[in-house]
Structure 1
Amino acid sequence: MKQFGILLQKEWRENVRNYKIFWIPCVFILLGITEPVVNYFMPQILEASGGLPEGAVFEFPTPSPAQILMAVMEQFQTIGIVVLILAYMGTIAGERKSGTATLLYVRPLSFLSYFLSKWTMAAAISLISLWLGFLAGYYYTLLFFEELEFSALLQMVGSYSIWILLILTLTLAASAILPNGGLAAAAAFAVYLLVQLADGLLGANWTISPMKLPGYAAAWLTGNPRLSEFVGAIGLALLAIIGLIVLGSWAAWKNKAKTKV
């Protein structure tokens, strides 16, 4: 436990030094703000761009708060996940490649504590960024559109947080397994796309798939997902996260000899 605390302090200093604790939240806040602001000012944007014929009048249907926040989540599903994968693809592989991990590996080291320290810091920054992004989107949705129950937002973001943790853990495990950050990012993207494809083909018959979590998260805005299916998806996602943590810890230990000296 003491070793984990020391390693966690190291991760904190490193994330401060590379500014991840600042720029990742800023990206998510910007993504969260963009959707409600753009939707509200869309008529003015089109008018200012000069893209409308003279005398033309277009009626834009006003989106509901639920639709706005779903669109915010779609931004996180694409740009947000790309940002997180690129930010943490070299977390372990980068240390091995640069040789900085040698300073750790020459000492008695618990690789579970080593992996968990990196996972804990990355998870904290990612979840704080996610919540700040959704809260910013929620604030501007209230400002420009109708009111939405705050409890629905909490249920949605809480559910979606598990999904983000799953993608993040996959990225860190890939970084522990593969020799460099580029390959880790490619592997994480490939697995992400493959499971998305598999869910599109087989998802109708597998309602407790972790891939359903974004959909179940969105369902809290318009009603409630089926509880048994939702709990099943959460349970499988947590099992996958634990399995990836174990795999990543083992891979970090297995590949320690490949560290550049």
Structure 2
Amino acid sequence: MSSALVFARKEFFEIFRTWRIVVLPAIVLLFALTGPVLAKYTPELLTAVAGSQLSGLELPTPTVFDAYGQWIKNLSQIGIFAIIIIYAGLVSSERRSGTAILVLTKPLSRATFVIVKAVVNAFYLTALVAIGTLITWGVSALMFGEAPGAALWSSAAVWLVLALVYLSLMTLFSVLIRSSAGASGAGLGAFLVLSVAGLWMPAADYSPAGLPSRAATLAAGVATEPLTWPMVISLLACAAVVGLAAMIFRRQEL
């Protein structure tokens, strides 16, 4: 078995020994279970709380697409924040603990070290999103009596690409910044930049900045925005950013 596969196996089992195995699944499970329920009963809750203040105001009847939209909205906000915080120390934490030195004394290159960590966690995120989307699909069917799959799964796939973009950025930031807090701050700064850039049409059409809005419109079943270029460029950006992180890590002192 090659050193890269051995390290990938070690990194996979490392997930089960850290808070990543608790926090991310808990967040995904919470959103998957509660999103459709909240979408279904929000009008009734508002009526019960507001009472006479809503007199004469007819609230729209919730649909399964409201549940899908709630799922994507939660992921695009709290889900992204969780990824930023959890992966802020993806590389730097192993440098501080000395684990990186021990691993790199074996026939494992520094570039492989960074790339394997990013790839293993990309598969982990993909599995979590798939499971969460499947649960959302099932709960939505129970709540609304129907659950067309195309809108939900296509929007989840777009959001997953966005999540991989942030995973790539956090891999780079954890190489550049030895402090997890500093890397988290850089990640939140990137979130702010992409959120603002998404308001500018050229950036939304040709960069990851457009993925949140496209995921939302797909979830609503009314997608009309171009999707190919934001997806392709985002995936290429992921590879480029991880490659840059690997190149920088090769030249750094441990």
TM range (shorter): 0.7 to 0.9
Superposed CA deviations along residues 205-256 of structure 1, whole A, max 9, x for unmatched, are: 7522221122223333424445xx311111211111111111111122222x
For residues 250 and 98 of structure 1, the distance between their equivalents in structure 2, rounded to whole angstroms, comes to: 22
Partner of 2:83: 84
Q: Paired residue for 1:246?
A: 243
Cα distance in structure 1, aligned partners of 2:47 and 2:63? 23
Q: How many pairs are equivalent?
A: 253
Q: Which runs of 5+ in 1 are unaligned?
A: none
Q: In the TM superposition, what are the counterparts of 1:6-25 in structure 2 within 5 Å?
A: 6-25=6-25
Asked if 2 retains the 8 angstrom alpha-carbon contact of 1:203 and 1:209, the reply is no
Q: Taking structure 2 as the reference length, what is the TM-score of the superposition?
A: 0.88
- Are residues 214 and 95 of structure 1, via their aligned partners in 2, closer, same or farther at CA, if it must alter by over 3 Å? same
CA–CA separation in structure 1 for the residues paired with 2:203 and 2:177: 33
Using the aligned pairs only, state the percent identity: 24
Kindly indicate whether the alpha-carbon contact (under 8 Å) linking 2:8 and 2:120 is maintained by their aligned counterparts in 1. yes
**Normalised by the size of structure 1, how large is the TM-score?**
0.85
Partner in structure 2 of residue 210 of structure 1: 208
| Paired residues of 2:33 and 2:139 also in contact (CA < 8 A) | yes
Contact 2:114 2:246 survives alignment (8 Å) = yes
- Name the CA distance, whole Å, in 1 between partners of 2:46 and 2:62: 17
Q: Structure 2: which 5+ residue stretches go unaligned?
A: none
After superposition, where does 1:70-219 map in structure 2 within 5 Å?
Answer: 70-200=69-199, 202-203=200-201, 207-219=205-217
1:219-234 correspondence to structure 2 within 5 Å:
219-221=217-219, 222-226=221-225, 229-234=226-231
Instruction: Report the alpha carbon displacement of residue 204 of structure 1 after superposing the two structures with TM.
Output: 5.1
CA distance, structure 2, for counterparts of residue 205 and residue 46 of structure 1: 37
Equivalents in 1 of 2:247, 2:202: separation in Å?
34
Q: CA deviation at 1:141?
A: 1.7
Moved over 6 A (4+): none
For residues 37-76 of structure 1, the aligned pairs below 5 Å read 37-42=37-42, 45=45, 52=51, 60-76=59-75
| Pair 46,217 (structure 1): closer, same or farther in 2 beyond 3 Å | closer
Contact 2:28 2:128 in 1 (8 A): yes
Contact kept? 1:28, 1:129, Cα under 8 Å: yes
